[in-house]
Every structure is written in C-alpha cells, then in structure tokens.
Chain A
Amino acid sequence: MFWASYLLATLAIILAWPAPVALSRARWPARAPFTALILWQSIALAGGLSMIGAMLVWGLEPLGDNLVSAAGGFWNVARNQAPAGTLGVVHVFALSAAFLLGAHLIFTLMLTYVRIRRQRRRHRDLLGLLSSPALGSPATLVINHPAPVAYCLPGGARSVTVLSDSLLDLLTREELDAVLTHERAHLHQRHHLLLWAFAAWRAALPWLPTSLLAQRAVNELIEMLADDEALKHVKESTLVRAIAIVASGSPPPASLEQCEPPATRSAPVTVSALTELEPGTASTLEATAQRLSRLLTPLPPLSVLQRNTVLGTSALLLTVPPILLVAPELLG
C-alpha cells in the first residue's frame, strides 16, 4: 500500500496549491456560486483528509494492506502482542505527524467556534443596549451610527439583521428591501457555518497561502448567493443602487464626474456573520466590483453538463481519499 500513500500525498499537494489557485482565478464561479462553493468545500475536506491519510498509510505500511487491517496490526503492537520492531522510526514519525495534524485541525475548529461564539454573545449584549427594533420586526434592529451599515448576526432563533439609521436615511423602500433580503439570505442559508469552517482552516494552516484564497473566495461566493436571493424580490437596478450606496457611503451623485471627496468613510455592503475575516481594503473593493459587474453584465448560468462536471469532480474528491485509505485494492 505504498503507492496508495504516494497517491494520497500527490492529491494532497495538488489540493493544497495548484487546484485552489486555479479555482480562485477561474471566472465561472460567478456564474454558479452554489456549485463553486461545493467544490471549495470538497477541496478543503479532501485536501485535509489526503494530507493526514498519506502520512497515516505510509506509517502503517509494514502492518497491513489497508487502513483497517493495519489499524488491527497497530493495536497488536500497542498491546505488546506483536513485536514493535516492525515499525521503524520513520513510520512512528509519520504516524505521530498524522495524529498531530488531525488533532490540530479539529482543535482549531473547536477553538474558532468558541471564539466566534464569545464574540457574538458580546455583540448581542451590546446590541441589546444600543439598538432598537425597527420595521415592525424584533429580528431587525437599528443602531445609531453615521456609516451606512447592514449586517446580520446569526444565532438560531435569535438571529438579527442590523441596520444603521444613516443607511435607513439613504435608501428608498425598494433598496432597503434589497438589503434586507440579502442579509436574511445569509441567515437562512447558514452562511456563517461556511465562514466558520473556512476561518478555522485559515487559522489552522496560516502558512498555506491557499487557505486565504479559499476564505476570500467563499466570502465572495456567499455574497453572490445572497445577491441572487435578493434578485428574486427586487429589480437588478435597485440592487445595484443599494450596493453602490452602501459601498460608497453616500447617495449616488447625479453623475460620477461630480464625485466629491468622501466626507465619511463607510463599510462594504455586508460583513456577515462576524468571523475573523481580514480582507484587505483592496480585496473588499475587488469583491464589490465583482458583484456589481456580475449584476450589470449577467452571464448565463453554467450548462447542466458543466455543472454536473463540477459536481462529479467534487464527488470524486470526497470518495477517492477514503477508498485509498480503506480499500486501495478497489482502485488497483
């Protein structure tokens, strides 16, 4: 089962670098954000699994033909019923590395969860004191602030959408609807779970440049999904205006040539779910520009064949590493 570990290692390397780089540069995700999100998740999951799996299989190589029989062999060694000499130092090293990496990933995931939860609780406490319900719904809060801001704070039944009073002043009724549907789509589609997982991945492997690429891509894709949801309720032009107003922090000028230097600085249209995202100004601008561009020049959605190809790739990514681990002979 040597070759299985090499295959897994190759897969791990491809999924750690060339694949995410290529996907982050591709243009098609804007045409099928949901499908692209599935692919990003498959890449992350399969990448982690093959990274750990490669070391595990390599370390257990002397003990069995696949992970199941080798694990039995390892158990015998651990109980001193088989000679420990069958495992060399390199094997023990590989096994330790596999266990450490696995523990590290799971631990970081939990730690990120705890941190996000604490941050959200604090945020909710303060909101309770500083904001007031609006628009006849307890799930919509208004806070006094000069920057036009809209965001959502997930929390199950206590999820809320928060708007600043200055945003309410700037938007028309339809534009406000666009913003609200956009934010509620984030909540309904549980985007905060995705943000959590990818924030944890980034925190666990900060030295892996692609973990940043993935986090940014996922952040952009969920904005597109929320835009698509808003488009079911409002016209494209209304949504574009709403995005431009929130992104620019002021009502649109009569023409762009008359732009005054901005008096107030402001937020991107949404910063959802309060994760520890650190998008540089440039990347946020890029994302806003991409969203606007996508709305102004709608591209046709992917064809069924193209979409199925992507979904098939995702399915393969999720099945191949486990098969290589448990039953490599199926592929040989």
Chain B
Amino acid sequence: MATLGDLERTVMELLWATPEALTANGLREAIAEAPFGEVGRELAVTTVLTVLSRLEKKGLVQRERNSRPHRYKSVTSREAHTAELMHEVLVTAPDREAVLARFIGSVSETEAQTLRKLLSGS
C-alpha cells in the first residue's frame, strides 16, 4: 500500500520528467506504466486529483486553468527545488583555502602542525 507521500513523489517525478502539462488521467496512465514498482498501478483518477491538489497547495504544482480537463505541470524543475533547499543551508560558502588560511593564521604553530599531521592521515 503506497502512502500519500510516495504518491506525491511519483507524481512529481513524472511531472519533472515531462516538459508538457499532463491531465490527471494522463498521469494515472503514466503511473500505471511507470517502472515505480509497487506504487499504485490501479489508481483511481480521484486519488491522482487528491495528490495533485495537495501538491498544488504546497506550491509545487500549477494547474492550467483554461483547459478542460485541467492540465498540471511542475512549478519549477527538480534542480531548482534542490537549489532552493541548499540555499537555506549554504548560507555562506567559505572555500578551503580561506578556511585553512584563516585557521593557520589564527592558531599557534603547534596547532597548525597537529592539523597538518591529522589531515595528511598519518
């Protein structure tokens, strides 16, 4: 039994992989054919719609309003989402030389030697 989380993942993977917008029914067929294993082969369209509306609420999926039936596509690429996540985490980007130079400059000679020894793996 696939959870809603698994379904959301599957739907997003499909939307990310498809450049054009998909209908809920199109998605249902794609899920049935996709090599995702146990994740719902025989899904009802209503289930797909539930998943899509959850994803829409989370701001991950957008609906094209002028088409019937509605077509859905991802708001942005997988890479852009990863970048968004990492942007929150990577507040700063010190490079190796800066870290070590700063460190070597701010510590005693013995500490620097110890560090050299540790980093060279001996």
Interface residue ranges, A against B (CB under 8 Å): 119, 122-123, 125-130, 143-145, 147, 149, 151, 237, 240-241, 244, 247-250, 252-256, 259, 261-262, 265-268, 271, 274, 277-281, 284-286, 288-289, 292-293, 296-297
Question: Are A288 and B99 in contact (CB-based, < 8 A)?
Answer: yes
List 28 interface pairs A-B (beta carbons < 8 Å), by A numbering. Answer: A122-B58, A125-B58, A125-B60, A126-B84, A129-B60, A130-B82, A143-B85, A244-B115, A247-B94, A248-B99, A249-B96, A253-B119, A261-B95, A261-B97, A266-B90, A266-B93, A267-B89, A271-B89, A271-B90, A274-B89, A280-B92, A284-B94, A285-B98, A285-B99, A286-B106, A289-B103, A292-B115, A297-B110
Q: Is the CB of B86 within 8 A of A145?
A: yes
- SS class of chain B's interface: helix, strand, loop or mixed? helix
Report B93-122 CB contacts with A as 1/0, cut-off 8 Å: 111111110111011101100111011110
The interface stretch among B5-13, B18-26, B30-38, B64-72 is B5-13
Q: Provided the pairs A125-B58, A149-B89, A253-B119 are in contact, do residues A265 and B95 lie with their beta carbons within 8 angstroms?
A: yes
Residues of B close to A297: CB separation below 8 A? 107-108, 110-111
Within the complex, the shortest CB–CB distance from A153 to chain B, in Å, comes to: 10
The verdict on A284 contacting B116 (CB below 8 Å), with A143-B82, A144-B82, A261-B97 known, is: no
Contact assessment for A267 and B90 in the assembled complex, using a CB-CB cutoff below 8 Å: yes
Given contacts A125-B58, A128-B8, contact A240 B115 (CB under 8 A): yes
Docked Cα-Cα span, A205 to B77, in Å, equals 39
Q: Which of B84, B95, B120 contacts A249 (CB 8 A)?
A: B95
Neighbouring B residues of A289 by C-beta, 8 Å:
99, 102-103, 106-107
* Residues of chain A contacted by B103 (CB below 8 angstroms): 285, 288-289, 292-293
How far apart sit A296 and B104, CA to CA, in the bound complex (Å)?
12
- Give B contacts to A, CB under 8 Å: 5, 8-9, 12, 58-60, 78, 81-82, 84-86, 88-100, 102-104, 106-108, 110-111, 114-116, 118-121
| Residues in chain A near residue B97, CB distance under 8 A | 259, 261-262
Contact of B114 among A119, A125, A296 (CB under 8 A): A296
Complex: A277 Cα to B89 Cα, angstroms: 10
Looking at B91, B102, B110, the one whose CB has the most chain A CB atoms below 10 A away is B91
Inter-chain contacts of B106 with A (CB < 8 A): 286, 289, 293
Closest to A149 in B: B89
Residue of B12, B90, B111, B120 near A147 (CB, 8 A) is B90
A281, B92: Cβ atoms under 8 Å?
yes
Question: How distant is A10 from chain B, measured CB to nearest CB, in Å?
Answer: 36
Known: A143-B82, A261-B97. A241 touches B92 (CB 8 A): no
Pairwise interchain contact A128-B94, C-beta atoms closer than 8 A:
no
Tell me the minimal C-beta distance from A45 to chain B in angstroms.
27
List residues of chain B with CB within 8 A of the CB of A119.
88
Bound-complex Cα distance A248 to B81 (A): 24
